[in-house]
Amino acid sequence: MSGAEVAGLAAEQRRPRATEVEQHGIDTIPDAERTSGPFDLFRIQFGGANTFATVILGTFPVLLGLDLVQAVAATVVGVVVGALILMPMGLFGPRTGTNNAVSSGAHFGVRGRVLGSFLSLLTAISFYSISVWVSGDALVGAATRLFGTGDSDLLRGVVYAVLGALVIVVVVYGYQLMLLVNKVVVLANTALMLLGLVAYATLFDPGYDPGPEAYALGGFWPTFVLSALIVMGNPISFGAFLGDWSRYIPAGTRPPRLLAATFLGQLATLVPFLFGVGTATLVAGEADYVFALIQVSPLWYAVLLMVVAFLGGMSTGVTSLYGTGLDFSSVFPRLDRVQASLFIGTLAFVFILVGRLVFDLLASVNAFIGAIVICTTPWMVILVIGYWVRRGYYSPADLQVFNQGRLGGRYWFRDGVNWRGMAAWIPSAVIGLLFANYPPLIEGPFRNAAGGVDVSLPTSIGLAAVVYLVLLVAFPEPRYVFGPRGPRFVPAKEAAMLPVADDPRASVHRAGRRRTPLETPAESIDR
């Protein structure tokens, strides 16, 4: 047996069982417990997106008035561009051993990284809610057709509660059970969606074209760009979460393998996206896409759609909620990972009931996706530039300072905040929102600056990149944040690093946590 085979066997032996409750929060994952690989990163992204939540996003190009060819083109553009932006976000976890929000402390400061935590909260609540909404609606629609149960707010509320509770159970158990759920979803939902080619063969019209008067924004290009941006929201939404899973991948994994796993994982989501595009043409004009689709489906496939809905709701909900539970167990130290997950899950469930039963679902989805794209993308751009100028160098121990109730270290900057990252992100997000056009809830005053075409994304990306690089050159960061090889392209300044010490203001609960060898002050000081 080769050395590689022996190592692989040892890793399998160390892999925890799916039914074991995960013990790690956002602390650094020890090398011995990094039992995943790039294929797991691919699978968990595809499984988490191979769901009805993604299908719903795939219906938007048709709902906004594009014909079939235009809708497919907008979908492909959105997925590919979003995947290219997302790719580098899988590099941080193996280097830092923690999630991307905590990793962002290297560029925003160990306290400033809370920005990433709130971005992940926005994303988690949005996609957890979408997954439970659409999966619950599919189950109610199928039950109405099969058993004549009828439709009511009470029935939908009960189904939402059951789905939401099951998601939280998986989240509480943690990464290994989540990985198992995604293994099942990748295969089962792909097969079931491909069966749709048979189920809808006689109903599908490849020449579907509602005409130019159907364009939601009055013209082709504004409608096309809005459609692509909504689709792009799906890969962008993974930006805050990739580190949740890639932190279980060994640090020595080659970056090209990680980049490829992320790109291919997102490219594979064209399966549910194109399912949404194709089936949306079958029920165009109907107020409730999910309910209407089940009514026009052959009976045998309506039953299968219940399976797709259930598995998909579990997968998307779990991948969304898991990372936010991790994050908030560090932002609010009195909550451990399980308690934080229960808290966020409860908050999201209240949002589900209010959003679904009080507000317009599609308008809510549109607005939240817009906010995610505009606010998260410049944050990602700053992290990627930071990774590049620092040559991928990070100190895992110094990233954990705030989480352990201490202060000082490489990433303390000024009171725990790196104002360079903040000063680049804030105007980028604000100006992006001013140019945004996600009707009817997000309509910036400059939305018509380019003839109605939404230019919020290139504006926010370009501004973040330019401002951040200018600040790094004009106000160099301390040399000790760059590691032994020094900076790339930007200058550095000589400065003394504040030694790591307990923060007297930190809560007894946080400061009293047992430290691992990686967390001792001696390991956190640059000698």
The pLDDT value given to residue 450: 87
Q: Which CATH class is domain 33-524?
A: mainly alpha
CB proximity list for 179: less than 8 A, separation 6 or greater: 18, 36, 40, 43, 44
Dihedrals phi, psi of 29, to nearest 5 degrees: -75, 125
Name 430's Cβ contacts closer than 8 Å, sequence gap at least 6.
Answer: none
Task: Assess whether pLDDT exceeds 70 at residue 333.
Answer: no
DSSP letter assigned to residue 517: G
Confidence (pLDDT) at 22: 52
- Per-chain mean pLDDT for the chain: 84
Local structure of 432: helix, strand or coil: helix
Reported confidence tier of residue 504, pLDDT bands at 50, 70, 90 = confident
Q: Name the band, by pLDDT with cuts 50, 70 and 90, for residue 144.
A: confident
DSSP conformation class of 209: -
* Maximum mean pLDDT: which of 18-27, 431-440, 509-518: 431-440
Is the Cβ–Cβ distance between 408 and 526 less than 8 Å?
no
Tell me the CA end-to-end span of the chain in Å, nearest whole number.
42
DSSP structural state of residue 417: B
Report the pLDDT value the prediction gives residue 130, as an integer from 0 to 100.
Answer: 78
Helix and strand numbers, DSSP H then E, in the chain: 24, 6
Please give the distance of CA 374 from its chain centroid, rounded to a whole number.
Answer: 14
Comparing 170-184, 194-208, 409-423, 489-503, the range with the smallest average pLDDT is: 170-184
Q: What angle do CA 279, 280, 281 make, to 5 degrees?
A: 90
Q: What six digits make up the tokens of 313?
A: 């709701």
Longest CA–CA span in the chain (Å) reads 74
Q: Which residues, in sequence order, are CB contacts of 58 under 8 Å at separation 6+?
A: 75, 231, 272, 273, 274, 275, 276, 277, 280
Which pLDDT value is given to residue 431? Answer: 96
Q: How many CB atoms lie within 10 A of CB 260?
A: 16
pLDDT of residue 44: 84
| Pairing assessment for the beta strands 501-502 and 406-407 based on DSSP bridges | antiparallel
Percent over 70 (pLDDT), the chain = 84
| Interatomic CA distance for residues 334 and 322, integer angstroms | 18
Predicted confidence (pLDDT) at residue 511 exceeds the cutoff of 60 = no
Mean pLDDT along residues 454-478: 96
CB-based contacts of 439-444 (< 8 A; 24+ apart in sequence):
439/216, 439/217, 439/366, 440/363, 441/363, 441/364, 441/366, 441/367, 442/366, 442/367, 442/370, 442/371
Write down the pLDDT at residue 408. Answer: 94
Name which of 497, 491, 465 is nearest 476 in CA terms: 491
More confident residue, 325 or 481: 481
Residues 162, 158: Cα–Cα separation, whole Å: 6
Residue recorded with tokens 């140019």: 435
Interacting residues of 249 by C-beta distance below 8 A, sequence separation 6+: 34, 36, 37, 38, 40, 41, 93, 94, 258
Q: What's the pLDDT at 215?
A: 96
Instruction: Please state, in angstroms and rounded to a whole number, the distance separating the CA atoms of residues 171 and 494.
Output: 45
pLDDT band at 487 (very low <50, low <70, confident <90, very high): very high
The predicted model gives 82-89 an average pLDDT of 96
What string of H, E and C letters represents the secondary structure of 366-394?
HHHHHHHHHHHHHHHHHHHHHHHHCCCCC
Looking at residue 205, its pLDDT comes to 94
The pLDDT confidence band at residue 527, using thresholds 50, 70 and 90, is: very low
In this predicted structure, the answer to whether residue 92 has a pLDDT above a threshold of 80 is yes
What the block records as the tokens of 504 is 């007297």
Residue 176 or 453, more confident = 453
Asked if residue 146 has pLDDT above 60, the reply is yes
Residue of 488 and 320 predicted with greater confidence: 488
Task: Determine the Cα–Cα distance for residues 108 and 422; give it in Å rounded to an integer.
Answer: 6
- Tell me the average pLDDT across 277-300: 90
Q: Is residue 66 scored above 90 in pLDDT?
A: yes
Q: Coil, helix or strand for 496?
A: coil
What's the confidence (pLDDT) of residue 352? Answer: 74
pLDDT category at 519 given cuts 50, 70, 90 is very low
pLDDT of residue 49: 84
Mean pLDDT of the region 312-322: 72
Residues 99-112: tens digit of each pLDDT: 899 999 999 999 99
Residues in contact with 109: Cβ distance below 8 Å, sequence separation at least 6, in sequence order: 411, 412, 413, 414, 415, 416, 417, 418, 421
Q: pLDDT by residue (tens digit) across 392-433?
A: 999 999 999 988 888 999 999 999 999 999 999 999 999 999
CB under 8 Å, gap of 24 or more: what pairs does 455-459 form?
456/229, 456/370, 456/373, 456/374, 456/432, 457/229, 457/232, 457/373, 457/374, 457/377, 457/432, 459/431, 459/432, 459/435
Cβ-in-10-Å burial (0-12, 13-18, 19+) of 513 comes to middle
Instruction: Quote the CA–CA distance of 283 and 295 in Å, as a whole number.
Output: 10
Residues of 38-67 as b/e, b for ≥16 C-beta within 10 angstroms? bebbbbbbbbbbbbbbbbbbbbbbbbbbbb
**Does the pLDDT value for residue 34 go beyond 80?**
yes
Burial of 450 (0-12, 13-18, 19+ CB in 10 A): middle
Most confident region among 156-170, 210-224, 279-293 by mean pLDDT: 210-224
Q: Are 200 and 282 in contact (CB under 8 A)?
A: yes
Backbone angles phi, psi at 478, to 5 degrees: -60, 145
- DSSP letters, 102-123, are HHTHHHH-TTTTHHHHHHHHHH
With tokens 């992006």, the residue in question is: 432
**114-117: long-range contacts at Cβ-Cβ below 8 A with a sequence spacing of 24 or more?**
114/331, 115/379, 115/422, 115/425, 116/240, 116/327, 116/379, 117/324, 117/327, 117/328, 117/330, 117/331
